[in-house]
Amino acid sequence: MTRRWSSPRTSPSPGPGQRCPGPVRGSWRRPPSPTTATPVQEPAPEVTCLDLQVAQVAIQQAGVCSSRSDDASGAGRAQVLDRSWTVVSQGPAPGVLIGEGDVVLSVVRTGEPNSC
């Protein structure tokens, strides 16, 4: 039997007005049972043209703790230093209801040609 574990960053959101759990160094938590987890649905904030760190904070302040980012250049580069990347597009669009892991931010390195 395969067990799937997740880091605290992928745990369910605490909801609007509450803080997202910070990473706990050196520990992993079992994800909550699907029958007990309440899906969060909040409107997606506008984060296009912000640096990746600021965009992630805005999403967390909206009540959704996890999002993901992809290299918009197609080179598959990892976003190690969030402040070194600029969000050039987001999905879903601003205002659309989102839950944990629904948001995908397309990013380029700050200073690279982009639409912002």
Query: How many CA atoms lie within 13 Å of 49's alpha carbon, on the beta-carbon side?
Result: 3
Q: pLDDT tens across 61-86, in order?
A: 999 999 999 999 999 999 999 999 99
Q: Report pTM.
A: 0.70
Contact 106, 87 (CB under 8 A): yes
Q: pLDDT tens across 81-106, in order?
A: 999 999 999 999 999 999 999 999 99
Order across the sheet with 85-91: list the strands: 68-71, 104-109, 85-91
Q: pLDDT tens across 15-24, in order?
A: 555 567 654 4
Domains and CATH numbers, the chain: 41-116 (3.30.10)
- Which amino acid, residue 32? P
Q: pLDDT tens across 47-56, in order?
A: 999 999 999 9
- Which amino acid, residue 108? V
